[in-house]
């Protein structure tokens, strides 16, 4: 072997491939393409069928582990892809027999957006173990590790790997200040060690950690504990590659990367450049770049299916503003889409200006699911609806946060905001200080009764426990009790090619001769080279849908002072009132979900509900008539 003057092996054909000498301290790499990669870039729309062609190839690479489940996958799969989330684990396990499977678990939140009762949490983690998850990356949005107690008990019982996770957050451009400083993270790491963590992960969900901060943090952690340290960062700010390199220099044990087609932007650093850069050093990964390139080639084939979800409105692949607003990529895309659907995209700068204020008032919480959504949608509500008063439209989740149902916030919540949020709150006006799970009553018995005859097994029941509305809707699709909508069916590459040809013709003016608009169309928002188009595509089901809507609108015509309209686009969770019920102004009539947060919509007048236009699970646009209240005046 030959070394250059820097002590690095000379690169030869022999040590370029898998036969090269093994490094003294090789960096271990977890691939996150099959979970966080497509979640970050393509709104978690990656389908199992598109993962199968590369599954065996990835299994042969020698990754430390593959993260392929958890996070938003459980929600998106059953809600938007008509896929059973549990089946993805079992299917991929058939093709990946050597590489451990990792999942992202939100502690007591499981894979939802609130803290669930202990019986639901225990059942979920047990079934995740049974179905094939090996490593559980457990985090809590508030870094309140009391929310780990139940999940850790089940993980340890099954002899699985518990990765204790600290959510990385800042109040300054760099690590420091009074809140999120080095001592904060070292103390959190001690708590995880006491809980029995097998590894400790620093989870930087927005790409905030600067290279030298990563170096100092990893160095300090390695001096404090013998537990392996794992670093997870995103590329959003543009610092991702540099940060991983400095962490590797500091002795980090494991890092997260993506395959190149699923890397960069709001995703993660790519694995291939890191493998080449470390080649021949004492941290050489040992991975074969030629084999990685073969996987890249296969992955590129399916990318056209998902490009509609990629934000092409900007030329830059980085967003340095993330250091200022600290908004994770997924949260940012949700905010932009929400504002666009409300014709209020011009308010985005106001939202960014308001967001740090709301975050501080709500306890300076880290911005990660679900707190990112809690802070984000409340900020949007404040910007759009606050006129005569502040916090005029408070979501249910903000009320729960103020009550303590998510745990202890980093700093105290603003008392004025807390008092307003807890006014008429059903659990009381005095916040709890105990572990949230201690006051939550068992939920599975009730769910089992509700889905009896629909759910076929415990996995079905858990799905409905986590997502009562969309879970039941999916089971109806799964067991053929309801027709599967076209918009959740998989598309083929041939479908994509036809759409691209249609858009190309539209851009060239080739479709302008068609003057008559067909009755059966569906509208889509399309972004081509940074330009926005609203394209209408023929849909055999649209005509029937249009007739139904027309009928409903006719019912509510005339004096529309009692129409309850959707102020924002979202999905109906439930109607609190029925046709014939008397209501008073201020009574909650409808619960509407937007960005996974619940908004209570109240009656604007005293009266009687004479018509309800939708049902639980229906998606509605801004301005949709939800019900009609006949005024008593």
pLDDT tens, residue by residue, 417-469: 999 999 999 999 999 999 999 999 999 999 999 999 999 999 999 999 999 99
What is the SS3 assignment for 233?
A: strand
CA-CA distance, 554 to 559, in Å (whole number)? 12
Cβ neighbours, 10 Å, residue 570: 26
Residue 59 pLDDT greater than 70, yes or no: yes
Higher local confidence (pLDDT), 545 or 342: 342
**Quick one: pLDDT band at residue 321, thresholds 50, 70, 90?**
confident
pLDDT tens, residue by residue, 221-243: 999 999 999 999 999 999 999 99
CA-CA distance, 231 to 314, in Å (whole number)? 28
CATH architecture for segment(s) 327-438:
Orthogonal Bundle (1.10)
The whole-model pTM stands at 0.87
**Quick one: pLDDT band at residue 498, thresholds 50, 70, 90?**
confident
CB-CB contact of 336 with 369 (8 Å) = no
Q: Domain 25-307 class?
A: alpha beta
Mean pLDDT of all residues in 11-37: 82
Q: Domain 542-631 class?
A: mainly beta
Q: Where are the beta strands (DSSP E) in 23-153?
A: 28-31, 65-70, 101-105, 135-138
CA-CA distance, 148 to 564, in Å (whole number)? 41
Beta-carbon contacts of 35 under 8 Å, excluding residues fewer than 6 positions away, are 67, 68, 69, 70, 71, 73, 103, 104
For the ranges 108-122, 159-173, 181-195, 487-501, the lowest mean pLDDT is seen at 487-501
Give Cα separations from 68 to 89, 100, 105, 198, 304 (angstroms): 8, 10, 12, 20, 21
CB-CB contact of 146 with 121 (8 Å) = no
Whole-number pLDDT of residue 543: 36
**Quick one: pLDDT band at residue 568, thresholds 50, 70, 90?**
confident
The four Cα atoms 81, 136, 122, 400 give a dihedral, to 10 degrees, of -70
Whole-number pLDDT of residue 619: 87
Whole-number pLDDT of residue 535: 54
62: left (phi over 0), alpha (psi -120 to 50) or beta: left
pLDDT tens, residue by residue, 459-472: 999 999 999 999 99
Domain assignments of the chain as residue spans, ordered by start: 25-307, 327-438, 444-485, 491-538, 542-631
Strand partners, 627: 564, 612
Q: Give exposure, 514-534, as e/b (b: 16+ Cβ within 10 Å).
A: eeeeeeeeeeeebeeeeeeee
């Amino acid at each position: 072997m030959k070394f250059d003057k820097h002590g690095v092996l000379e690169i030869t054909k022999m040590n370029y491939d898998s036969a090269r000498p093994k490094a003294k301290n090789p960096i271990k790499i977890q691939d996150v393409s099959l979970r966080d990669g497509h979640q970050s870039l393509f709104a978690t729309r990656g389908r199992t069928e598109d993962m199968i062609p590369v599954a065996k190839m990835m299994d042969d690479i020698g990754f430390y582990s593959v993260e392929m489940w958890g996070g938003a996958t459980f929600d998106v799969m059953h809600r938007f892809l008509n896929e059973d989330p549990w089946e993805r684990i079992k299917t991929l396990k058939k093709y990946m027999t050597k590489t451990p499977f990792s999942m992202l678990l939100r502690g007591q939140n499981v894979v939802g957006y609130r803290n669930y009762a202990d019986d639901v949490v225990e059942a979920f983690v047990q079934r995740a173990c049974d179905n094939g998850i090996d490593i559980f990356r457990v985090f809590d949005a508030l870094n309140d590790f009391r929310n780990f107690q139940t999940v850790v008990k089940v993980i340890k019982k099954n002899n699985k790997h518990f990765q204790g996770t600290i959510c990385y957050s800042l109040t300054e451009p760099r690590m420091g200040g009074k809140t999120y400083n080095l001592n904060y993270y070292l103390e959190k790491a001690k708590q995880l060690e006491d809980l029995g963590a097998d590894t400790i992960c620093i989870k930087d969900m927005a790409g905030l950690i600067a290279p030298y901060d990563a170096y100092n943090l990893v160095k300090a952690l390695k001096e404090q504990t013998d537990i392996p340290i794992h670093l997870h960062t995103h590329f959003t700010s543009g610092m991702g590659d540099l940060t991983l390199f400095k962490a590797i220099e500091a002795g980090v044990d494991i890092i997260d990367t993506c395959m190149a087609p699923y890397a960069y932007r709001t995703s993660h650093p790519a694995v291939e450049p890191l493998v080449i850069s470390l080649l021949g050093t004492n941290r050489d990964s040992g991975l074969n770049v030629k084999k990685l390139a073969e996987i890249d080639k296969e992955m590129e084939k399916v990318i056209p299916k998902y490009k509609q979800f990629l934000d092409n409105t900007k030329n830059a692949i980085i967003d340095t503003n993330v250091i200022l607003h600290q908004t994770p990529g997924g949260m940012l895309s949700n905010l932009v889409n929400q504002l666009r659907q409300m014709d209020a995209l011009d308010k985005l700068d106001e939202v960014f200006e308001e967001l740090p204020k709301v975050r501080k008032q709500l306890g300076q919480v880290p911005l990660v699911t679900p707190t990112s959504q809690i802070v984000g949608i409340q900020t949007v509500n404040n910007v759009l609806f606050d006129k005569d008063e502040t916090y005029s439209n408070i979501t249910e989740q903000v009320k729960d946060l103020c009550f303590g149902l998510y745990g202890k916030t980093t700093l105290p919540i603003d008392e004025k905001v807390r008092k307003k949020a807890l006014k008429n709150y059903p659990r009381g006006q005095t916040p709890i200080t105990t572990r949230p799970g201690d006051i939550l009553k068992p939920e599975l018995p009730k769910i089992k009764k509700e889905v009896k005859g629909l759910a076929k097994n415990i996995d079905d029941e858990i799905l409905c426990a986590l997502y009562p509305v969309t879970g039941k809707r999916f089971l109806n699709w799964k067991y053929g009790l309801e027709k599967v909508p076209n918009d959740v069916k998989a598309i083929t590459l041939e479908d994509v090619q036809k759409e691209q040809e249609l858009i190309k013709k539209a851009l060239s003016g080739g479709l302008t001769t068609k003057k008559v608009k067909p009755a059966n169309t569906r509208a889509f928002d399309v972004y081509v080279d940074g330009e926005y188009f609203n394209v209408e595509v023929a849909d055999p089901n649209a005509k029937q849908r249009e007739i139904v809507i027309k009928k409903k609108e006719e019912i509510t015509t005339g004096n529309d002072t009692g129409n309850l309209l959707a102020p924002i686009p979202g999905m109906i969770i439930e109607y609190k009132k029925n046709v014939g019920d008397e209501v008073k102004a201020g009574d909650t009539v409808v619960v509407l979900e937007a960005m996974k947060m619940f908004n209570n919509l109240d009656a604007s007048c005293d009266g009687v509900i004479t018509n309800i236009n939708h049902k639980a699970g229906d998606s509605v646009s801004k301005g949709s008539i939800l019900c009609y209240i006949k005024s008593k005046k």
